[in-house]
Chain A
C-alpha cells in the first residue's frame, strides 16, 4: 500500500500516524525509553510494556511545537547485530520504515557501554539524536558530562533528561523541532578491517537502506540476515571470499575485534567529556541491594516482601476488606436484588431470567465476579507487582533463585513470569515470549498452568483454609513439591539447550506514583479486554449447562471421581466450575466448606489448584504454544491433579492425620 492511499478518508489513530513524520525511540532495555515515549505522546497511546522488554511495538502521536509526529517505541536493543526476536524487530523497523529522527536513549551513567549502539547507528547513516537519560542517577554516582563537547565529538545533537521526573523533556522537544541531519563523524578501524570494508563496499552495487560502509561492517561481522539480503549481488562470491579471508587472518571473531576497537575509541571520548567524582561514598541503596542479593539476608527480605506485599496487601486488604465490601454492600445489598427483581418482573421466561440474573446470570454471577472479586484482587496485585518491578527488585530475586531454577530447566529470569503468574496466569503465559529458548517457554507454561495459583484463586483458597492453618501448610507444601518435582522431570524430558543466566542489575529505585499508576492502569485495561470476556462466556456456559441438564450428567460422573480422592459429592460442582475459571472452582468450594473436614479441604484445594487452567489461560496457551503442546499438557494435568489428590488422601489416612 502506498502511503498516499492510507492518508485520506476517515482517520483512526493507527492510520493517521502512518502519514506523519516518524520518530523512532531506540535503546537497550531498562533505560527509560517507554517513559520518554509516554511523556512525548501524552495520552494518545496505551503502553504495553511487559517486564524486561517491550514485546509489542507501540506507536503514538506527539505534538511538538505545533507539528504532529508519529513516535515509535521500539523493543529493547543492545546492538545492531540482533540475537533476540526484539532486536530483529527493531532493526527491521529502522532499516525499512526510515524514521526521520532516531532518538537513541541511553542510561547516562553507563555512557561508556552504551555509546556502542550510538556509534553503530551513526555508522549506518541514520539520523541520530542522543538522549542521556537518568541524569539523576548519573549525578548520584558523581558523574558530570560535558554535553557541548560530546556533541562536537559525535557531531549529533545530545540532550540530557531525567524521564521519570520529566526534566529535560521540553528541551528534547525543542531539539527535535530544530533537528537537521548533518554528516556525522565516522570512526576508523585498524587497517585490516578498513581495507576489507573498502573491498566489500566496492563490490556492493545494489541499493541498500543504510550506508555501504555500515552494510560492509555488518557483513564482516557475519550477520546472517544481512548476508542473505546481499545474495542478489553479482559479485556475491567475491564478498564472501573477502569475509572468509579476514576471518582466516584473525584468530578471534571479527565482531570481537571491532567491538574492542570501538571501545577504545569510546574510552577516548569518555575520558574527554566525563568527569568522575569518586569521593561519593557507597550509598544506602547499594548496601540494601547487597543485602537483597546475599542469601542470608536476602531470603528473609524476600519473605517480608511476600508477607506484606502479597499476603497483607493483596490477601487481607484486596481479597478480604475490599471484596467483602463490594460483595455484600454493593452487589449483595443493591445490584443483585435489583437485577433479580427486574428480570422476574419484566421477563416472563425463566431461562432468560436465569441468563441475566438469579444464581448464575451474566450480571449476577459473571459481572459480579468480575467487579466484586476479580477487580480488587487483581488490581491490588498489579499495584504490588508494578512497585516491585519499578524498584528493581526482580533481577535481585532472579539472582537468588537462579540455582534452584536451573534444576527445573529454567534460569533465574523465569521469576518474572512466575511472580506475575500469582497475579494472572494468563498474562504470565503471554510474558513467556520474552524467554530465550523454546524449552524454557514450554516448562514455564506448564508450571504456570499446573502449580501457580492466580491471585483470584489464591484469595479464595486463603479464605477457605484460613481456619485450618495445618491444611494451609499442607497445601503450600504440596504445591511447592509438585512445582519442583514436575519442573525437574520436565527439564529431563523436554529436549533443548541448558539454560544460562545473565542479567543486568539496575540500581534500586524509589518507584514513582505516576508511573505505578500508568503501569497498573495499562495492565488492568489489558486484563479487562483479554480476560473478562471469558468470564462472561463462562457464565453463559454455566447457564447453558444448567438449562440443558448437561451439568447434572457431568456432575454425576464427577461425583465418582471426587469420591476416589475422598471428597463428598457436593464438591463435584466446584470441580466442574473450576473448568471454566480457576477461582470459580475455589469459590464453589467456599459454599460447601462447612460440610468438609480439614483433610478434605486441603485435598480439594490442592486438586483444584493443579487442575485445568481457566478458559482465558487455555486460549492463550493454544495461541502461544500451539495445539499439540497444549493438548499434551492438558492430557497430563487433568489426571495428574486427581492422582495427587488421591495420593494425598491415602497418605493422610494411613498416617491418621487430621489437618
Chain B
C-alpha cells in the first residue's frame, strides 16, 4: 500500500459520518401559573391566539365552551381548572392548543406557550414519586429545558379521563 493510499484511507476515516440518529421529541411547551408543561408536538395541530369562545350552559366550569375553527366546532378545556389551579383573570397571553387524540380533538386553554422544541428522547426522565396524585396519571415524564423541569403530559389520558368525568 502506497503512502497515498494510506493517507486517502485516513481522510476517508476522518470523513466518516457516525450515525447518531437518536430519536427526538418535539414538544409544545407551555406554562400554567409559572409551572411548565408540555404536550408531544405531534398531538398539537395548531395554536390559536385570539379566538372567540362560545359559552355553553350545562357544562362543567372546566369546559370553557366551543370555538369555530374554520368551520369545525371544537370544545375548549381549561387546563388550569382541570389541574387544580385557581381561576385567573390574566388571560392576555393565553393560547388555545388544538389537541388531537386518537378518537377525539379538543381545544385546551393554557396560560402561555413558551416554546416549541426538539429534544433528544433520552432527555425524558421518569416522573418522580413525589409528583402530586392528581398529576401522577397524566405525567409521562420530565425534561429539563431552559433551566426548568417541564412535565410532559399525556394528552390521550387527559381526554379519556375528562370524557369519563374523572377530571
Do A and B belong to a common assembly?
Answer: no
List B residues at the A interface (Cβ < 8 Å): none
